Amino acid sequence: MRRVFFFSFSPLLIWLPIIPVALSKAVNRSIDDTLGDSVTRQRPLFLPSTVGIWEDVTCKECALRPSIQDAYDQTWTAATYRPPMGNMSISFPFTGTAIYVFFILSNVSSENSTTAANFTLDGVVEDAYRHSPDPNAPDFQFNESALAFAQTGLENSTHNLLISTSGDETIFVNFDYALYTFVILHVAYQFSQPSFRFEEDDTISSPLTTSFNLSTTPASSPSTTPTSATGSSIATAFSTVIASSVSTAMTSATGSSIDSSNTSNHSSTRTGAVVGSTIGGLLALCAFTFGLYVYYSRRGRKPRMHSIINTDGGKSILF
């Protein structure tokens, strides 16, 4: 039976745009004064921890009592700083690229209505906030009108924020909530191996397809089951070629960080690694294809049959 070898070159085009793509999604998460982080449930640390200094919405003796209906999650935690205390603070960790802190500000005419605080991020003092009562404004300001601190462009990693008050004057601090922006990174790879068809003794192997996905939770690689011995050998050979290229590309993509200050320095390195791995995979694929072509071309050749006719009437000899 004549052996037919067929290889489709059109799937090679699929290899050209295969570039690891980092997909990111920014989400806002909250840190409530009472309920804590919306994900970790960790509550801010209020110091000093002396009973009676930091009060919440249940306080009946507090002179300044904002409406809970306007407060975030209908909760707040407040304290009045006095010079003999020396210092009072609020601190909490967060993981993200931006942070926003919201107080509840008082405009009630009182010597204890001024709000002031220093904001220290990762050990560095970033800002000092101060609000004096405004007689033309509502008694209390909430949410966007009470934004006390904002910092963006941070590395998508864990940070620590310290809100502190000290000095020689009486200060009112009411912490309502904070919002931080967290970037979820998702790197995905999806591709198909080129399809092959071999006709040898009326046996046709099935096309082989493989896909890879890399997300925040590593997934196991799917298995491929060939339908013939020929398909099995091809799958094994291509698995070696593809694994080498994909491993290099995945390492290049997942190894990169989301540091905005180093983006320009890293972009050229990632691009070179991706292009190099892609070209390497193409060269290996072409070499493998050429080897298969030569192999099956040689197997498809049949030796010529020579005959010598016996003039004495005997049988012809074939060799």
Complete DSSP assignment for 113-139: --EEEEEEETTEEEEEEEE---TTS-S
Please state, in angstroms and rounded to a whole number, the distance separating the CA atoms of residues 173 and 74: 17
The whole-number pLDDT of residue 1 equals 54
The 10s digit of each residue's pLDDT in 173-192 is 999 999 999 999 876 665 54
The 10s digit of each residue's pLDDT in 117-162 is 999 999 999 999 999 999 999 999 999 999 999 999 999 999 999 9
The 10s digit of each residue's pLDDT in 91-126 is 999 999 999 999 999 999 887 899 999 999 999 999
Using an 8 Å Cβ cutoff, are 177 and 32 in contact?
Answer: yes
From the list 203, 193, 265, the residue with the least C-alpha distance to 236 is 193
From the list 108, 107, 100, 110, the residue with the least C-alpha distance to 175 is 100
Please give the domain boundaries of the chain with CATH numbers for all domains.
4-20+189-300 (no CATH), 27-185 (2.60.120.260)
Strands 45-47, 88-96: parallel, antiparallel or unpaired by DSSP? antiparallel
The whole-number pLDDT of residue 288 equals 77
pLDDT above 90: residue 78: yes
pTM: 0.56
- Tell me how many degrees the CA angle 212-262-122 measures, rounded to the nearest 5: 105
Using an 8 Å Cβ cutoff, are 239 and 225 in contact?
Answer: no
The 10s digit of each residue's pLDDT in 194-229 is 544 444 444 333 333 333 343 343 433 344 444 444
The 10s digit of each residue's pLDDT in 251-265 is 444 444 434 444 444
Considering only residues 187 and 50, tell me which one the structure prediction assigns the higher pLDDT. Answer: 50
From the list 295, 278, 205, 190, the residue with the least C-alpha distance to 241 is 278
Question: What token pair was written down for 182?
Answer: 């967290």
Most distant CA atoms of the chain, gap in Å: 136
The whole-number pLDDT of residue 271 equals 55
pLDDT above 70: residue 86: yes
AA letter at 89: S
Considering only residues 274 and 285, tell me which one the structure prediction assigns the higher pLDDT. Answer: 285
Name the average pLDDT for the chain: 74
Considering only residues 266 and 170, tell me which one the structure prediction assigns the higher pLDDT. Answer: 170
Using an 8 Å Cβ cutoff, are 242 and 282 in contact?
Answer: no
